[in-house]
Amino acid sequence: MISRRPGRHALAFIFITVLVDMIGLGIIIPVLPQLIVDLTGLTLPQAALWGGALATLYALMQFVCAPIIGNLSDRFGRRPILLFSLAGFALDYLVMGLAPYLWVLFVGRILSGIFGATYTTAGAYIADVSPPEKRGANFGLIGAAFGLGFIIGPVVGGFLGEIDHRLPFFAASALGFANLVYGFIVLPETLREENRRPFKLFNANPFGAMLQMRQFPIVFGLLGAFALFYLGHASLPAVWAYYGPEKFGWSEADVGLSLGAVGVTAAFVQGVLSRKAIPALGAKRAAVAGFSIAALAYFGYALAPNTGVMYIVIVLGALAGIGGPAVQGIMSNQVPANMQGALSGATTSLSSLMTVFGPGLMTYIFYTYSNREAAFYFPGAPFVLAGMLTLFAVYIIARVIGRSEVTA
């Protein structure tokens, strides 16, 4: 049963939960490449291949486990699943920080993928406490938490990494445990007993979770667009920390600051601008506009001649942040209350499935075109592919919602 009514602070609870978790994720990004180099003795482009393998393993585990977590949250409630996830993340960072060998980093990514249900359950939590007309705007809060996490996490991680490459992992673990304590004390349950449904193994496997969405044609079509978007988006976390040092000679602190800039702009767009832009433009136009800007930003990253231009693209590309919440709002409004967890599980599984292939693909392309022996040296090649995939996603979104009765 619900021990406390969510009240007007429920969105603040989930915002802070995701924010602290994202700080933990972001804090290790600037230092992971150098840690791999230290453990293996490889060059930076070679280390990128192992970084892609780590990201692939994480995504594979999340692909398998996310629908289980989403459906469990539909059965037992959001609060216990969130707390379970936070405990797993904290353990993962501790394991990675202590890693004496490369294979221990892989163990850490397995743990993180298994317990990586925070975003799945957070999406269902948002749906629980939001009226249909406000879901698109409120989903932007999760994006804002991502953005703020990337303001604080990578910047702090970059500077801590200048002291010791392992220090950010221990800081992330401490944040994870603090977040667990915070959630245990203040996070209320939001899923009412009448909206809970039995746990079924068929629905809890990744393909079953996505196939459940076939009964909602608009949702199923938009999932196809998300698939292309997620595949392209894998280029950012997989390649960014290697691309900047390779092309522009960035230090770990430079990587952290650049990601901090991404976070500042994304937080503003998704936390402030999207809450006004989506209702003003309508979900249809906001979705198409946001994903179109994302495609252009990828091309901008690929062709940027210097750090200054990269920052200009970061600022303008942040406007793409209205697209994701708009599409999420459209999909959520097509699904009943007792399937919001299943929807979140399906989207997380889809993201993870694309991330199974994305990081390995993007880091291999980066390695191929950044290797000093490459016939054509072009480190931005992964971003060009990401831009093309996102343009296809725009086409699908326009087709699906253009034929629908969606008006939100």
> Could you report the per-residue pLDDT of 50-84, keeping only the tens digit for each?
988 888 888 788 777 777 776 777 777 777 877 88
**Where in the sequence is the domain holding 52, given as residue range(s)?**
7-185+200-402
The predicted-structure confidence for 3-35, as pLDDT tens digits, reads as follows 445 545 567 777 777 777 778 777 888 888 888
- Both structure tokens of 332: 């959520």
The answer to whether position 206 is within a domain reads: yes
The answer to whether position 234 is within a domain reads: yes
Give the residue among 26, 48, 49 at the shortest CA–CA distance from 169.
26
**What's the rounded Cα separation, in Å, for the pair 82 and 261?**
28
The answer to whether position 101 is within a domain reads: yes
Site of tokens 């992330």: 172
| CATH code of the domain in which 366 resides | 1.20.1250.20
pLDDT at 194: 61
pLDDT at 3: 47
**What's the rounded Cα separation, in Å, for the pair 114 and 398?**
34
In a structure prediction context, what are the per-residue pLDDT tens digits for the chain, which is 408 residues long?
444 455 455 677 777 777 777 787 778 888 888 889 888 888 888 888 898 888 888 878 877 777 777 677 777 777 787 788 878 878 888 888 888 889 999 988 888 777 765 666 777 777 777 776 666 667 767 767 776 777 788 888 888 888 888 898 898 888 888 878 877 877 777 666 666 666 666 555 666 666 777 778 788 888 888 889 988 988 888 899 899 999 999 988 898 889 888 878 887 887 788 878 888 888 888 889 999 999 999 999 999 999 999 999 999 998 988 888 888 788 888 777 777 767 776 777 777 778 788 888 998 999 899 877 777 889 999 999 999 999 999 999 888 887 655 544
How many domains are there within the chain?
1
**Virtual torsion, Cα 257, 263, 268, 270, nearest 10 deg:** 160
The answer to whether position 295 is within a domain reads: yes
- Both structure tokens of 17: 């939960």
**What's the rounded Cα separation, in Å, for the pair 7 and 223?**
32
The answer to whether position 266 is within a domain reads: yes
**What's the rounded Cα separation, in Å, for the pair 397 and 331?**
12
The answer to whether position 192 is within a domain reads: no
CB atoms within 10 A of CB 102: 16
The answer to whether position 228 is within a domain reads: yes
Contacts of 264 (CB under 8 A, 6+ apart): 147, 151
CA quadruple 323, 326, 328, 330: dihedral sign: negative
The answer to whether position 407 is within a domain reads: no
pLDDT at 200: 65
pTM of the model: 0.69
**3-class SS string, the chain:** CCCCCCHHHHHHHHHHHHHHHHHHHHHCCCCHHHHHHHHHCCCHHHHHHHHHHHHHHHHHHHHHHHHHHHHHHHHHCHHHHHHHHHHHHHHHHHHHHCCCCHHHHHHHHHHHHHHCCHHHHHHHHHHHHCCHHHHHHHHHHHHHHHHHHHHHHHHHHHHHHHHCCCHHHHHHHHHHHHHHHHHHHHCCCCCCHHHCCCCCHHHHCHHHHHHHHHHCHHHHHHHHHHHHHHHHHCHHHHHHHHHHHHHHCCCHHHHHHHHHHHHHHHHHHHHHHHHHHHHHHCHHHHHHHHHHHHHHHHHHHHHCCCHHHHHHHHHHHHHHHHHHHHHHHHHHCCCCHHHHHHHHHHHHHHHHHHHHHHHHHHHHHHHHHHCCCCCCCCCCHHHHHHHHHHHHHHHHHHHHHHCCCCCC
pLDDT at 1: 41
